[in-house]
Amino acid sequence: MSEVWLTIAVLSVGTVLIKSTGPLALGGRQPGERTFAVVSLFAPALLAALVVYETLSDGHDGVTVDARVIGVAVAVIALLARAPLAAVVLGAAAATAVARAAGV
């Protein structure tokens, strides 16, 4: 088996196992109060992590500051102005595109 197919096979099985663990361990019954207090906060923690990662990742394992930062800053302004979701994400994309065209 080539390295490519080996990667695809193991990664797909591993991903299924990762995604199955929580639903198998916790589903079907009410978790305890303290458990729920923690797992219900995984969402804000991981969403914040994704905002940081998607804004600053250099595509490998490092940090880079580029035009995406301007796009996300525009998103913050749009959110402060209570703009609708579509305006927030499209404004971010447009600001990033303009910044790139300007050579940022």
Partner 1 sequence: MSDSARTVPDEHSDLRDGIRAGLPFAVPTLAVGITFGVLAEPVMGEIAPIVMSIVVFAGAAQFASLSVLAAAGGAGAAILAGLLMNARFLPMGFAIAPSLRGRPLKRAAQGQAVVDASFAIARRRDGRFDRGILLGATIPQATGWIGGTAIGVFAGSVLSDPEKLGIDAIFPAFYLAILWEEGATRQGLAVAIAGGAITLSLMSYVPAGLAVIAAALAALIGLRRS
**Which residues between 26 and 55 bind partner 1 (CB under 8 A)?**
26-28, 30-31, 34, 36-55
Q: Select the residue interacting with partner 1 from 60, 65, 77, 103 (CB under 8 A).
A: 60
Contact between 104 and partner 1 per CB under 8 A: no
Contact between 77 and partner 1 per CB under 8 A: no
**At closest approach, how far in Å is the CB of 103 from partner 1?**
12
Contact between 102 and partner 1 per CB under 8 A: no
**At closest approach, how far in Å is the CB of 54 from partner 1?**
4
Percent of the chain as helix, strand, coil, to the nearest 5: 75, 0, 25
Contact between 97 and partner 1 per CB under 8 A: yes
Pair 67, 96: CB distance under 8 Å? yes
**At closest approach, how far in Å is the CB of 44 from partner 1?**
4
Q: In whole angstroms, how far apart are CA 1 and each of 4, 6, 9, 12, 97?
A: 8, 6, 10, 15, 42
DSSP reduced 3-state for 39: helix
Pair 70, 92: CB distance under 8 Å? no
